[in-house]
Amino acid sequence: MPDTKPDFDIRAFRNALVEWFRREGKDYPWRRTTDPWHILVSELMLQQTTIPTVLGRYERWMRQFPTPGHLASVDEQTALRSWEGLGYYRRVRSLQAIAREIVHEFGGEFPDNPEGLKRLPGIGPYTSGALLSFAFNKAAPIVDANVARVLARIDNYSVPVDSTEGLKYLWTRAENLVDPEHAREFNSAIMELGQTYCRISAPDCLLCPVRSFCSAEQPEMLPVKNPKPEITRVEHHDVLYLRGKSILLARCPEGKRHAGMYRFPQREDDHTLSLPHVLKQTYSVTRYKVTRYIHHVTESPAFLEGEELVPLDKVHELPMASPDRKALNSPVLGKLLDHIR
């Protein structure tokens, strides 16, 4: 068992890590607060998203929605629009659902225990631990990709970290290691170690503050992960249809990708496909590599479910996924739109 490794001095490990963090830890906006609302926003933004991306968005979001009440009171479209470009839009729906629950059910107070937190949508074991430690300084474990890498290397652990067995091991190990006296600093430290010295490629073991605790023989080979699904190429054909000073857009249905967001209407009929395209885009979305053609349609198509004409001066208010926003802002479409404005 991980907690019974004979020559591993847990207290010394905690001290080395926390002291390193106090010396060299970075200063992020979300490390300057213990307000659970601020911590929650930062954690949801940071899920599968890089720190530079979040640094470019976090403070503006907090100015717009400084309390749960501010997000609870706007409509979903406004919330989605504010999240635009960050991806994984379910996160902002969860955030708004949580905000409304905090305001209307919990009198504005966050739960400070794992049972209460994990009942909230979008909060899993990682985010629960992050809130408990970063906001409430409680000795809750966290395991994210950084912690998994650090722990796998420290223990020279070669079971896939995304397997059931691997996850169980890592969470148990994280729970044993977390410093009960300095949970906030310890969890920040172990994550930051994974981003700096214990990085994925070319780890800098010579400068690592906990190198004397590490068993890794070939750190660059750890952690082991399960293989990823293959990439599938797909083609989409969409239409640009303008009438007066409006554009035809489709609202994505609930429960599907980009739910609640607006996109160019899709068509697969032979007539549409026979028209020359005004724009060709390629982009990746999860396991798909998409080639998307936008055809300029001049005769009114039959409107399908969820499609509506949107005045061009309102388009900027609607939430759109990045490829659609980029298409709309592209020079070639811009020229067409300017022509009728």
Partner DNA sequence: TACACGTGGCG
Partner DNA sequence: TCGCCAAGTGT
Active site residues: 43
Q: How far is CA 12 from the centre of its chain?
A: 34
| Binding of DNA by 260 (CB under 7 A) | no
Q: C-beta of 278: minimal distance to DNA in Å?
A: 19
Q: Which of 111, 122, 203, 265 binds DNA (CB under 7 A)?
A: 122
C-beta pairs of 171-176 under 8 Å, 24+ apart in sequence:
171/125, 171/141, 171/143, 172/1, 172/2, 172/3, 173/2, 173/3, 174/141, 174/142, 174/143, 174/147, 175/141, 176/2, 176/3, 176/10
Nearest-angstrom CA–CA distance, 118 and 116: 6
| Binding of DNA by 266 (CB under 7 A) | no
| Binding of DNA by 200 (CB under 7 A) | yes
Burial annotation 175-200 (CB, 10 A radius, 16+ → b, else e): bebbbeebbbbbbbbbbbbbebbbee
**Residue 173 tokens, joined:** 């190990």
In the shown chain, the binding pattern of residues 270 to 309 toward DNA, with x for contact by CB under 7 A and - for none, equals: ------------xxxxxx-x--------------------
| Binding of DNA by 125 (CB under 7 A) | yes
| Binding of DNA by 329 (CB under 7 A) | no
| Binding of DNA by 42 (CB under 7 A) | yes
Tell me whether residue 237 or residue 258 sits nearer to DNA (CB atom): 258
**Coil, strand or helix: which one is 154?**
helix
Q: C-beta of 52: minimal distance to DNA in Å?
A: 6
Tell me whether residue 183 or residue 297 sits nearer to DNA (CB atom): 183
Segment contacting DNA by CB under 7 A, of 121-129, 175-183, 209-217, 305-313: 121-129
For residues 43 and 51, is the Cβ–Cβ distance under 8 A? no
Q: C-beta of 274: minimal distance to DNA in Å?
A: 25
In the shown chain, the binding pattern of residues 55 to 84 toward DNA, with x for contact by CB under 7 A and - for none, equals: ------------------------------
Q: Which of 128, 213, 214, 333 binds DNA (CB under 7 A)?
A: 128
Burial annotation 104-117 (CB, 10 A radius, 16+ → b, else e): eeeeeebbeebeeb
**Residue 57 tokens, joined:** 């968005």
**Residue 294 tokens, joined:** 């936008």
Q: C-beta of 26: minimal distance to DNA in Å?
A: 8
The residue written with tokens 């300095």 in the block is: 182
| Binding of DNA by 225 (CB under 7 A) | yes
Q: C-beta of 49: minimal distance to DNA in Å?
A: 4
Question: What type of residue sits at position 208?
Answer: C
**How many Cα neighbours within 13 Å face the side chain of 305?**
3
Contacts with DNA by CB under 7 A lie at: 28, 30-31, 42-43, 46-53, 85-90, 94, 121-128, 130, 144-146, 149, 163-164, 188, 191-192, 194-195, 200-201, 225-226, 228-229, 231, 256-258, 282-287, 289, 321-323
